[in-house]
Amino acid sequence: MASISIERLSSLFQRELAIIVNKDNRSEAVGYINITEVRVTRDLSYATIYYTILSDKPEDLKKASTLLDTINKTVRKELASKVNNLRKMPELLFKYDEALAYGNHIDKLLKTIKDDK
C-alpha cells in the first residue's frame, strides 16, 4: 500500500460503501442499510463491513444478509473503481452489527423495570 494508512482506508471504504450499497434502491426490500464500521486487515486481504438496518425482525435481517451476499461482487467492483490507488482490493465480508440491537434490548429492559415501579 502506498501512502494511505489502514485507518484512513477504512474510513474511505465506509463512506463509499454507504453510497454504493444504498444506491439505485438496491435495498428497497430492507430499507436503508447503515454501514457502522469497516475493518481492513493489514495485508489488505479482507475488509469486514459492519452494518445495521432499522428493523430488528429476523426476516428483515435475513433479507439484508441475502441482499449483501448477492451484490457483494458488484459492490467490490464499484468500490475498486472509487479507490484506485490500491494494489489489490480486499474481499468484502458483511456482518450484522449487533451493538445497536443489543443497546435497544437493554433500553427496553430498563423501561420495563422503570414502569414496574
SS3 content of the chain, % helix, strand, coil (to 5): 55, 20, 25
Residue 85, C-beta contacts closer than 8 angstroms, at least 6 positions apart: 2, 4
pLDDT tens readout for residues 65-100: 999 999 999 999 999 999 877 888 999 999 999 887
pLDDT in the model for residue 2: 44
How do beta strands 33-40 and 46-53 pair? antiparallel
Q: What is the pLDDT of residues 5-14, one digit of tens each?
A: 899 999 999 9
Topology of the domain covering 6-116:
GMP Synthetase; Chain A, domain 3 (3.30.300)
